[in-house]
Amino acid sequence: MQQDQLVQRFEAYAGWRATLAERIAAYRDWLDDNELNDAQTALRVASLLARLNEDKLSVAFAAEFSRGKSELINAIFFAEYGQRLLPSSAGRTTMCPTELMYDAGRPIGIELLPIETRERHASTSEFKNYPDEWISIAFDPGKPDSMRAAFRNVIATRSASVDEARRLGLYDDSDPDQALAIKEDGNIDIPCWRHALINFPHPLLKQGLVILDTPGLNAIGAEPELTLNLLPNAHAVLFILAADTGVTKSDIEVWRRHIGGGGGRQKGRLVVLNKIDGLWDQLRSEAEIQAEIARQAADSAELLGVPPNQVFPISAQKGLLAKISRDPALLEKSRLPALERALSEELIPAKQEIVRDACKGELDNLMRSAHAILDARRKNLHDQLLELNELRGKNRDVVGSMIARIRNEKEAFERGLKQFQAARSVFSQMTNELLAHLGMDALKTEVKATRKRMLECMFSSGMREAMAEFFAGVKKDYNESSAQIAEISAMMDAMYRRFQNDHGLKLGKPVEFSVLRYQKEIEKLEARFHDHFDTVLNLIRHGQISLTLKFFETIASQVKKTYEYANLEAEQWLRAVMAPVEAQVREHQMQLRRRVESIRRIHEATETLEDRIAELDQVGTGLDAQIAELSRHALAVGSALRSSPAPAASAGALERA
C-alpha cells in the first residue's frame, strides 16, 4: 500500500493522540496503584480518554456537479484500492450527501436514508439516531469490487411524479431547467436516497477522518443538513472548480452561499482548480502551459475573492491514474501532492490545537488535585513529627494535654464539616437549577411550540418571528445558566477560602467554567439561519412548508447538540469544582484521626515514641517518592501534549508514491 504525505501526516497526528492517551492511561494506573484514584477522578480521566478516542476530523468536498469532487476523493484517499471506488462520471453522478468514516461499533457497509424521509419533520442528524430508518448494504472491505458495487448506490435515482418531487422539495416550478427535466411520461428522476453513510476500516478513516462527498450543490432544496451543519462544521472544505468550464455563475453562487460566505481568508477553506490536464496541449511549450494554468488560477482567485496561493490547480483524474499505475512523473504533473500537503497543513495543526486546548485544562486540574492531596499528606506528616519530637523527654501529662489539643482541632474541623454538608446541599440545589436551564425537556417543548407556530403562520414575517422567538428562548436559557454558574462559582470560592483559612487545606482557586462557547455557537446558528432565509422564503413561495420546517428542524437539532454538550461540560465542571474539597476534607479527617490515635498509643505506652517517629520518617520517604513520581507523570503528559506530530519521513514521499 503506498504511503503518501497525507497518510503520513495523519498517522503522525494519530500517533500524537495515541501517545497522549497512553501517558494519561499510565497516570491513571499510577493513581490506582497509589490509591489516589477516587470515583470522581476515575470518571474524569475516562471521559478525557473517550474524548481523545472519538476525536474526528472532517473534510468536505463541495462544488457544482461534475467538477470532479468524487474523482478527487478517489485520488486523494482511495487510490490504493487500485480502482475508482466512488462513482465518478460525466453529468450529475453523486445524488446524495455521502459520509465516509469508520465507527468500530457499526457494521461495515453502506447505510442509506430513503429520500421519502424528506417529508418528515426531522433532520438527517436526528435520523442518525434511528438505525431502523436506514437501509443497510454490507460489503467486503478486502474486495474493492464488492465496495465499488455497494458505493454505486449513491448514484441511484428513480422516477417520480412532478407532484411527488414537489412535495419532497425536489422540484421548483420557477426553474426552467427543471421543466426540461420532465420526461415524456410526465415524470422526473429523483434521488433514491437522502443521505449515505459508508463505514469501513480504511487506515485514515480508522484514525478519525470523516470524508464528506456532496452532490452538485446548486439544486433547489439542497439538504439543509449540508448548508447548516455539515459544511459549516467541517474542519476543511475543498471547493472545486474545473478548468474546462472556468468559473461559472453557479460556481460563484455555490461558493458564496455554502463556503466562502464569511468573506476574507477562512481557515480550512481551499479552492481547487481541477482538470488542468485539459490544458496539457502538446502543441504548446511547457512554459506556455504553466503560464496558462497560473493565469486561470489567478482569475479564479480573483473571482472568488481569495488570495491566489489559496487556489490549487490539479488534475484529479491524472493524479488517481498516476497513483494506481505508480507513475511519479505523472503524479508530480497532476500537482496532487501540493494540494495534499496544503490540506494536511491546514487540517492537522488546527485540529491538534483544539484537542490540546480541550485536554489541557482538565489534565492540569486533575494533576493539581493529586498534588494537593500529596502535599497535604506531607504537611500533616511534618506537623505530626513536630508534635512527636516535642514529646521527647516530656511526661505523660503533657501527652494528655496534647491529645486534648488535637481533639479540639478535630472538633473544630467537624463543625466546619457540618457547614460543608450544608453548603453541599445548597450546591446540589444550585446544580439542579443550572441543569434545568439547560434541560432537554424544556428545549423539546420549545421546539414543538415553534414548529406549531410555523405551521400556523404560513407567511414569511410570521416565520421570522417564530424563529426569532425560538432563538430568544434559547439565549435566555443560556443567560440564566451563565448567571447560575457565576453564583455557584462565588459560593465555591467562598467555601474554598473558608477551608483554606480555617483548616489550612490547600485548595487554590476553583476551576472556572462558562457557557460562552455555546452562546457563540447559538449566535452563529442564528446568523446562518438569517443567511439562508432567502432560500426559506423561496420555499415558502412554492408552498413547500414541509421543507421550511426541515430547515428549522436542522437548526433545532444543532441547538439541541449545544445543550447536550453544555450539559455534559457543566456536569464535568460541577464534579471538578467539588471533587478537590471532598477529597481534601476526607484526607484531613483521616489525618486528624491518625494523629489522635498515634499520640493515644504513646500515651498508653503501647508504642514507644522513637518507634513511631522512625515509622513516620519512613512514610515521609515514601511520600516524597510519590510526589516525585507524580511530577514525572505531569511532565510526561505535559510534553506529550505540547509536542507536535512529526511525520516519520516526508522527503521521500513523492518519489515513493
Ligand X SMILES: Nc1nc2c(ncn2[C@@H]2O[C@H](COP(=O)(O)OP(=O)(O)OP(=O)(O)O)[C@@H](O)[C@H]2O)c(=O)[nH]1
Name the site residues for Mg ion (rule: CB under 5 A).
Answer: 69-70, 93-94
Residue number, 97 or 208, with CB nearest to ligand X: 97
| Residues 387 and 609 sit within 8 Å (Cβ to Cβ) | no
Q: Where are the alpha helices (DSSP H) in 277-335?
A: 286-304, 316-324, 328-334
Closer Cβ to ligand X, 274 or 352, answer by number: 274
Q: What is the enclosing helix (H) or strand (E) of 312?
A: strand 311-313
Residues 195 and 229: beta-carbon distance below 8 Å = no
Non-local (6+) Cβ contacts of 486 within 8 A are: none
Q: How far is the CB of 255 from ligand X (least distance, A)?
A: 14
Rank residues 94 and 125 by Cβ distance to ligand X and give the closer one.
94
Is residue 333 a contact point for ligand X (CB under 6 A)? no
Residues 215-234: x where in contact with ligand X by CB under 6 A, - otherwise, as a string: xx------------------
Of positions 123, 274, 384, 450, contacts ligand X by CB under 6 A:
274
3-state SS record for 38-98: CHHHHHHHHHHHHHHHHCCEEEEEECCCCCCHHHHHHHHHCHHHCCCCCCCCCCCCCCCCE
Smallest distance from the beta carbon of 39 to ligand X, in angstroms? 51
CA torsion through residues 114, 120, 124, 130, sign: negative
Interaction of residue 275 with ligand X, rule CB under 6 A: yes
390: three-class secondary structure by DSSP: helix
- Spatial distance between the Cα atoms of 56 and 53, rounded to a whole number of angstroms: 9
Separation of alpha carbons 87 and 147, rounded Å? 11
Site string for ligand X, 187-216 (x = CB under 6 A): ----------------------------xx
The residue from 317, 484, 548, 591 that contacts ligand X (CB under 6 A) is 317
Q: Which of 277, 362, 477, 526 is in the footprint of ligand X by CB under 6 A?
A: 277
Q: Which does 369 bind (CB under 5 to 8 A by kind): ligand X, Mg ion, none?
A: none
Q: Tell me: does residue 144 bind ligand X (CB under 6 A).
A: no
Give the span between the Cα atoms of 412 and 414, in whole angstroms.
Answer: 5
Min CB(319)–ligand X separation in Å = 7
**Segment lying near ligand X (by CB under 6 A), choices 24-32, 40-48, 271-279, 629-637:** 271-279
Residue 148 identity (one-letter amino acid): R
Residue 67's binding partner out of ligand X, Mg ion, none, with CB under 5 to 8 Å set by partner kind? ligand X
x/- mask, ligand X, residues 58-77, rule CB under 6 A, reads -----x-xxxxxxx------
Distance CA 503, CA 408 (A): 12
Q: Does 316 bind ligand X (CB under 6 A)?
A: yes
Cα–Cα distances in Å, from 636 out to 11, 23, 29, 265? 21, 7, 14, 37
Residue 89 touching ligand X (CB under 6 A): yes
Q: Which stretch binds ligand X (CB under 6 A): 167-175, 309-317, 444-452, 472-480?
A: 309-317
Nearer to ligand X, 98 or 544 (CB): 98
- Residue 296 binds ligand X (CB under 6 A): no
- Residue 450 interacts with, from ligand X, Mg ion, none (CB under 5-8 Å by kind): none
Rounded distance between C-alpha atoms, residue 358 and residue 55, angstroms: 11
Cell 475573492 belongs to which residue? 305
CB of 532 to Mg ion, least distance (A): 23
Least separation, in Å, of the C-beta of 91 and ligand X?
7
Share of the chain residues as helix, strand and coil, in percent rounded to the nearest 5: 65, 10, 25
Q: In whole angstroms, how close is the CB of 76 to ligand X at the nearest point?
A: 12
The residue (of 67 and 550) whose beta carbon lies closer to Mg ion is: 67
For the record, the C-alpha cell of 650 comes out as 516526508
Q: How far is the CB of 92 from ligand X (least distance, A)?
A: 4
Give the three cell numbers for residue 457: 403562520
Interface ranges with ligand X (CB under 6 A): 63, 65-71, 88-90, 92-94, 215-216, 274-275, 277-278, 315-317
